[in-house]
Amino acid sequence: MIRSVLDIKPLKNERIYAVGDVHGCYKELLALEQKIRESVSRSKFSKYRIVSVGDLCDRGPDANYVMEHFVKGKAAGTHQLILGNHEIFFMLAFIGWRPDLIKKAKISFSWFHHSFATLFPQLQLGLDPWRANGGDIVFKSYNASIDDVTTWDKVPATHLQLLFEAPLIIRTPKAIISHALIHEGDVETLVSCDQNAMSKDPVLEDGGFQSVYRSLWERNRPEARIDSVRRHISGHTPMKAVQRDLKLGVVQIDTGAVYGQKLSALELRSFRVLSVPSSYNCKTVVKAK
């Protein structure tokens, strides 16, 4: 069973980097990873691992390349994905419009996958919400069309599997990483739901739906620290630069790559930031049309 909360630890001589919302900006992702490799080579470490805070797709031009990059990276043990709200558009569209491809990919649903249909039924029934949030350009990257579901076969099964195997939250010894801003008690609620889902008579923990929703869509910062030791790393809300709230232990790392700003990574030992400029601005592309 896929858990909503995944615990990982850095391997010997490994640095872990949380990377902000990519949104199909493949060139920027490769440039940032090159900068990460250069930084690691100058240190006492020899390995690195990338953890995406979600939103690999939508709005940017190369979702297919980004997804394939993470599929290969996951197989190699160098890349991991946390679900963002834009992955939910992707997943629910395929559940609603091409369930045969879900079945063909041999995808198993976890308890929180079932919660998506309850929380966001409109995303499963209609394509307009996804189109309005940049879903059409996703299919262009696959040489397909959002309006012709018969072309959706061009999306590889491995890309669907990548999404359905991703957790909502990753914990390391020093950080709790989620796409949006979770609040106090959300991690504990999700862990309890994971444990209950493995029982013979699973019952969704009270507040489970709210915790799932916040992990994907919440923009308001919590009223108190969510963990006394770990820092809370999130994306989702574009900033001009990485934002740190020392009192709350919050670090927001979405620096608007798809809006012509920067793609940023946060190293989870030193909490130092690496960034690269973006050459793509989805707003400019839309205006040009």
pTM above the 0.85 mark?
yes
Task: Encode pLDDT of 152-191 as tens digits.
Answer: 999 999 999 999 999 999 999 999 999 999 999 999 999 9
Confidence at residue 91, expressed as pLDDT on a 0 to 100 scale: 98
Residue at 55 is within a domain = yes
Instruction: State which residues form the domain around 34.
Output: 5-84+108-118+157-288
Q: Taking 50 as the threshold, does the pLDDT of residue 288 lie above it?
A: no
Residue at 47 is within a domain = yes
Sequence-distant (≥ 6) Cβ neighbours of residue 77 within 8 angstroms:
49
Task: Encode pLDDT of 54-98 as tens digits.
Answer: 999 999 999 999 999 999 999 999 999 999 999 999 999 999 999
Residue at 97 is within a domain = no
Residue at 126 is within a domain = no
| Residue 9 belongs to domain with CATH number | 3.60.21.10
Residue at 144 is within a domain = no
Task: Encode pLDDT of 121-137 as tens digits.
Answer: 999 999 999 999 999 99
Amino acid identity for residue 277 in this structure = P
The sheet that has 262-267: what strands, in order across it? 79-81, 47-52, 14-19, 262-267, 273-277
Task: Encode pLDDT of 107-119 as tens digits.
Answer: 999 999 999 999 9
Mean pLDDT within 21-37: 98
3 state SS of 82? coil
Q: Could you tell me which of 269, 246, 243, 267 has the C-alpha nearest to residue 256?
A: 243
The number of folded domains in the chain is: 1
Residue at 219 is within a domain = yes
Residue at 251 is within a domain = yes
Confidence at residue 1, expressed as pLDDT on a 0 to 100 scale: 81
Residue at 131 is within a domain = no
The sheet that has 243-245: what strands, in order across it? 5-7, 169-171, 175-178, 231-234, 250-252, 243-245
